[in-house]
Amino acid sequence: MQYRRVPVGNLTVDRIVRHRKIIGYKPGGIANFCRTLVKLVEPNTITPVAKIGDDKYVKHVERPLKKLHVDESYILKVESAESRLYEINVTDPQRPKIQRKQNAEELMSTPPKDITPILPQTAILFYQSFATVFETPYLDLTLKTIEEAYRLGVPVGLDNNIRQASVEKLKAMSNVTQKVYNKLDFLKVNEGEAKIILNPNIDEPIEKISLQENELSRVANGIASSYDVKTVAITMGERGSFILTRDEELRFKAVEPENFVNSLGAGDLWCAGYCMKYSRKLSEWEAGFLATVLGSLATEGTYAYPSHLTKKRIRGRIRNTSGLYDIDASQFLKKLKLL
């Protein structure tokens, strides 16, 4: 029985600062994804794969995870290692500033636990970022895992989530990315990533690149055909998203947030929503709609860790916006088991 949802990524510690004063700590990385999924599926079916440090900061990850009641059996605590610590300055909440404070080199160089034994029970294997797959010293282990998942027919998703510093890595590893991308059930990219994947010679900074409306289909089809990806999703923030499958092209307008704060964590929540396609047998349109709703809700909180996200708010936003997407809210909520 395929029931596990297996997100793979980093578990970080986010130190929240306002006016040079520490106001709290939040777990980051795939904790955002897990925090969202527990509102949609049974917590013990979520099996995050990650590593945590063994210093004074790790409690800010361990305690919140305990409260989520997810399956922690594949979280590896690396003895004597630093936690991956980031500082998020929210003095201006609409323009948060993020700075890495601990590189956690020992933690990052340690291989995660081998998850191939649980792949037969996995409904979706999801990788948080390009770095999670490619920028590690244990790339061979990751490739082996993805290949085994592909062999077993387990859907594999990747949020490319690339930073400017990784662009050269992407260009240099085209032969390896080909091996991974063509085994993906879905690849999520933003506008800049989409163009750079298709044309690695672009010199413009990734965050400055945008796609015109009439480019979406051509770029998505170019990625799909070049890398044999089943589904390509291009997200564009307030402009919504575009999803290309082997059978259809779908365009989603963004759901207007009730109170925009910032976009921290919006990509994580978008992916959590889309991954429900594999847990609740959603259609492509329904999965894209749920991803759109959750991505919008993410922008209404100050921090990436979506503590403001509740089942009640999810239900309410679905009911309030479903008509715009030609979805029957009651039937959809029943399908999600949120009634």
Contact 300, 261 (CB under 8 A): yes
1 lies in a domain?
no
What angle, rounded to 10 degrees, do the helices at 284-298 and 266-275 form?
150
pLDDT value of residue 169: 80
Residue 73 has pLDDT above 70, yes or no: yes
Whether 145 and 185 map to the same domain: the answer is yes
Whether 97 and 129 map to the same domain: the answer is no
Q: Greater confidence, 305 or 235?
A: 235
Three-class SS state of 221 = helix
Domain count, the chain: 2
Whether 107 and 190 map to the same domain: the answer is no
CATH number of the CATH domain containing 226: 3.40.1190.20
Model confidence at 308, pLDDT cuts 50, 70, 90, reads confident
pLDDT value of residue 148: 97
pLDDT value of residue 138: 92
Residue type, 24: G
Residues near 199 by beta carbon (within 8 Å), at least 6 away in sequence: none
Whether 11 and 135 map to the same domain: the answer is no
CA separation for the pair 292, 288 (Å, rounded): 6
Whether 166 and 250 map to the same domain: the answer is yes
Residue 2 has pLDDT above 80, yes or no: no
Whether 45 and 85 map to the same domain: the answer is no
**Greatest pairwise CA separation for the chain in angstroms:** 53
Looking at 112, 129, 157, which one is the last position of a domain? 112
pLDDT value of residue 1: 65
Model confidence at 115, pLDDT cuts 50, 70, 90, reads very high
CA separation for the pair 46, 23 (Å, rounded): 29
Whether 18 and 153 map to the same domain: the answer is no
Residue 176 has pLDDT above 90, yes or no: no
Residue 173 has pLDDT above 90, yes or no: no
Model confidence at 307, pLDDT cuts 50, 70, 90, reads confident
2-16, 210-224, 296-310: least confidently modelled range: 296-310
Residue 339 has which token pair? Answer: 């009634």
Rg (CA), the chain: 19
For the segment 259-288, what is each residue's pLDDT rounded down to a tens digit? 899 988 999 999 999 999 999 999 999 999
Residue that has been written with the tokens 């039937």 in this structure = 331
Q: What rounded mean pLDDT belongs to the chain?
A: 93
In percent, the amount of the chain with pLDDT more than 70 equals: 100
222 lies in a domain?
yes
Average pLDDT score over residue span 188-210? 89
Whether 192 and 169 map to the same domain: the answer is yes
Contact 4, 154 (CB under 8 A): no
Residues near 13 by beta carbon (within 8 Å), at least 6 away in sequence: 25, 26, 27, 28, 57, 58, 60, 61, 83, 84, 85, 86
* Angle subtended at Cα 268 by Cα 263 and Cα 271, rounded to the nearest 5 degrees: 125
81 lies in a domain?
yes
End-to-end Cα spacing for the chain: 24
Whether 66 and 34 map to the same domain: the answer is no
Domain of residue 58: give its range. Answer: 6-29+50-112
Whether 82 and 118 map to the same domain: the answer is no
For the segment 201-253, what is each residue's pLDDT rounded down to a tens digit? 888 888 889 999 999 999 999 999 999 999 999 999 999 999 999 999 999 99
What's the Cα-to-Cα distance from 302 to each of 5, 231, 320, rounded to whole Å?
27, 31, 23
